[in-house]
Each structure stands twice: as structure tokens, then as C-alpha cells.
Amino acid sequence: MAVPITVLISSVMVFGDMAEKYELSSMKSAGVSLVRIMVPSMVVAFFIGLFSLFAANFLKPASLLQFNKRFLAIRKQKSALAIEEGIFNSAFNETIIRVNKIDKNKRNIHDVLIYDHTPNDKSLIGVMTAKGGEMYTAEEGKYFVMKLDSGVQYKELEKKSKLGSNKSEIPFMRTYFDHWTKTFDMSLFDAEEGLLNFNRNREDMMNSAQLLKSIDTFRTNIRENDGKISQKMALLFQDTPQKTTPTPENLSKPDSLKKDTDLSLSTSTELKAVSTDTLLTIIYYQCTH
């Protein structure tokens, strides 16, 4: 990334030095044009530009990919690289971990705080605190284990509503423990899938051909999802009730019955309009998952 500005500054310095020493004037007086004087530097700049393009498109993504692979391999064996002191770590998907202090042996930990966001309802609180414990990897790096000592778990459960009442209850559970073992699966850091889960800017590890292929795949998935949604919508609304035409029976009904019929039709239409957005959301979720 520094090559273009480096070439520019160096070119300005070289030609400025030549002009200061009247070398450019001497060359022009000898019949050499300015374009011919600049041809060697233009050729060098052209090849430097090609190399910069090659490096940015192939060398940089490949080196970043290999770096992340090595980092994940070391991370599976050395759990201390996954957890740092005083920093909230979100590498384990929806479980956030913070350790206030780590001993020199990189195993014993103190003042642990864990936020659990695994439930479907993200508004529910799930927090675990512990005074200390230890962390290590098990079964050749397949699992990351945290043994916690002397802690408390706070957890909100799903809301419950009483029958015949508008009020809802929010159950809350508090658990005191002396020892608690929490295990994390390290398979999410395996091979290419681990890189996709670990690195949010994974497009930095792709060259132009891979990016074009990914964009094409993304567009294909969008078209397929749009087609599925259209089919679901067609099946959903193919039995839409048609407008009723006046018949002798309808005409012979009293006005009060006509009003009740119109009211029920309008009510059903309103209910259908209200539920359309919900149905669209459900259909889109089913198609995309």
C-alpha cells in the first residue's frame, strides 16, 4: 500500500535534484526531449504497478489466509491466546467471556464474567460470575474447558401470562454454585469454516476471481429465495374469496342482516390485512433457513 506514494516521492526527488543541478537543461540543450528523459522512470513505474496489483490481488489474501490458519491452530492448543485480561471475548459465537486476571501459568483465572446470549429471545438476561477457576483445552484441542469456583448464575426464563389477565410474569432464576464446568466446542475454528466464523472481514482473504464467484453465488441465492417467496405467496392467496354478487336471497334479507353480513366481511378483511405482514415474515424466514 505504500509503494505508489513511495514511487511518487522518489520520482519528484530525483527529477528535482536533476533540475537543481541543471542536468535537465543540459539534456534538453543536447536535443533530448523531456519525454525521452522520463521513459526509464515510466517503465520502472509500470512494472512496479503490475507488481503492486499482483501483490494486492494474490499475495496479500494468500498470506492473510495462511496467517489466520496458523493463528487458529495455535489458538486451539493455547487457550490463553483466546482469552485476554480485562477484554470481552466473543470468539465463541453468542457467549461473551471476560476474565479480569490470568496467572503466569496461563491456566488459573480470577474474577470471571460470562454473558450467555444463546436463547432465541435476546432480551432475556443470562449472566454468570465466578471468583476464580482454571481454563484449559481437552482432547487435543477439541474442547475449551472453564472450571469455575464460587460463583452465581442469574438467568431470566421465558415470559408467562395468566389466563384471563393482561399481566405477564417474568420468572427469574438465581443459582449459587461451588464448582461449575463449562465446555466450549472448538470445532468452529476448524479449517475454512473456522476462518469464516472467526474473521468478520473474510473478503480480505479472497482474490478478485473468488470475490466474483462469491458475488455470483450470493445473487443466485437471492433469486432462489425470491422464487420461493413468490411460490409461497401464490399458494397462500390462490384461494382468495371473490366479491359476492347480489342474489334474490340477499335482496330479500332484512337490512339488519345485511349490515351484520357487511360487518363480518369487513372484519375478516381487516384481520387478513393485519396478518399479512406476519405471514410474509414467516414465509421469508422459512425460505432463507
178 and 259 both lie in a single domain? no
What is the distance of C-alpha 44 from the center of its chain?
A: 42
Of all helices (H) and strands (E), which one includes residue 150?
strand 143-156
What is the distance of C-alpha 178 from the center of its chain?
A: 36
Beta bridge partners of 184: 144
- pLDDT: is 211 or 278 the higher one? 211
40 and 101 both lie in a single domain? no
106 and 159 both lie in a single domain? yes
Please give the model's pTM, rounded to 2 decimal places: 0.44
111 and 148 both lie in a single domain? yes
Residue-range definition of the domain harbouring residue 28: 3-77
Distance CA 249, CA 45 (A): 91
Owner of C-alpha cell 482469552: 83
Torsion of CA 42, 47, 50, 56, to 10 degrees: -100
- pLDDT over 60 (residue 103): yes
Distance CA 73, CA 89 (A): 18
- Total domains in the chain come to 3
113 and 138 both lie in a single domain? yes
Q: Coil, strand or helix: which one is 33?
A: coil
**Chosen domain end from 47, 77, 107:** 77
Query: Which of the four pLDDT bands, split at 50, 70 and 90, describes residue 271?
Result: very low
**Which whole number is the average pLDDT over 58-76?**
78
Range with lowest mean pLDDT among 20-29, 93-102, 234-243: 234-243
56 and 101 both lie in a single domain? no
**Chosen domain end from 77, 98, 133:** 77
**Chosen domain end from 157, 172, 198:** 198
DSSP category for residue 27:
H
Q: Exposure of 117 by Cβ count < 10 A (0-12 exposed, 13-18 middle, 19+ buried)?
A: middle
Asked if residues 205 and 214 have their Cβ atoms less than 8 Å apart, the reply is no
